[in-house]
Amino acid sequence: MRPVIVIEDRIPFIKGVLESVADILYMPSGSIDATVMKDADALITRTRTRCDASLLEGSRCGIIATATIGTDHIDLDYCRAHGIAVANAPGCNAPGVAQYVSRALLELYGADRLHGMTLGVVGVGNVGSIVERWARGLGMRTLLCDPPRADREGGDGFVELAEIYDRADVITYHTPLTVSGEYPTYHMLDAASVPELHRHPLIINAARGAVVDNRALSLALESGIVSGAVIDCWEDEPDIDRTLLDRCAIATPHIAGYSREGKIRATIMAVDAICDYFGFPKPEWAERPGTVPVAVTPGAVIESYDIMADTAALKSAPSSFETLRNTYNFRSEPAG
């Protein structure tokens, strides 16, 4: 019997790919419920579908593949306890996020002023590593904070978060969201740590909304302790803090990683996970992204992305957050 696979209908480049080997049901995220999942063998989703007991209890689902880096929308403990495999797409949108950060820096400072400025990168995984490399190519000094990597690899090359807060002109976050455990990232910047920002930095959050306490950031902008903010990921999306929105220099609807190449990578990784699980032959893809450039030029970044158009769209219609996100015209990543 052919397996039944439920696929969130906003996942790009996936329609027609698995129909030859499975029965496919495309559904809006808001319509994927326990009734839909009861007879499903697999789910391919994005971040807006909460995958927990309320969705999965009584389902025969054996695998969830999310076409995203993050898994905080999936109850991993529940899945482990019930033998449900979980696959994500690490690094899929890393160049797109690096493009976003680089474009924001060039928009706010220009190529000449970036030379010699200090960028603090909090979280130096797939995304943060490219952000750091491209920033050095633009002439910036970098400070790297990644406690899990520092513990695994040794402290050379890494600094404590307090040092970044003390020395950085710009701070950009690229961590997953973890509320507890050895390395919690919830509210890494909050009211208690704002006074540690001695250089009145620009704050960039293109990670997860709750990595930064949005209210504390808004107050820090009002007081001048923080010189500016670039926010793509917000607490309580899509009902975002309108005061913070007004105070941000750049504000976008969670689309930092929304490059065409990133979406193709994510879909390929999700489909590959499904194929591995069921033993399907992996499909041939008409388009596969090339290698990520070692460095990018200011001109290539500026030409590749109009970040202020996205900012204007959100600021003029904040209630359209989800529509702007779901109908986004995927941009191309910059060439090296």
Q: Which residues are catalytic?
A: 208, 237, 254
Can you tell me whether residue 189 is helix, strand or coil?
A: strand
Joined together, the tokens standing for residue 335 give 């060439």
Q: Which residues pair with 79 in a beta bridge?
A: none
118: exposed, middle or buried (Cβ count in 10 Å: 0-12, 13-18, 19+): middle
Residue owning tokens 């033998």: 83
18: Cα separation from own chain's centroid: 26
Q: Residues annotated in the binding site for NAD(+), as ranges?
A: 146, 175, 232, 257
Q: Which residues pair with 70 in a beta bridge?
A: none
DSSP 192-255: TTGGG-TT--EEEE-S-GGGB-HHHHHHHHHHTSS-EEEESS-TTTTS--HHHHHH-SEE-SS-
Q: Residues annotated in the binding site for substrate, as ranges?
A: 47, 68, 258
80: exposed, middle or buried (Cβ count in 10 Å: 0-12, 13-18, 19+): exposed
DSSP 265-326: HHHHHHHHHHHHHHTPPPPP-S----PPPS---HHHHHHH--HHHHHHHHHH-GGGHHHHHH
- Which of 1, 2, 3, 13 lies closest to 270 in space, CA to CA? 13
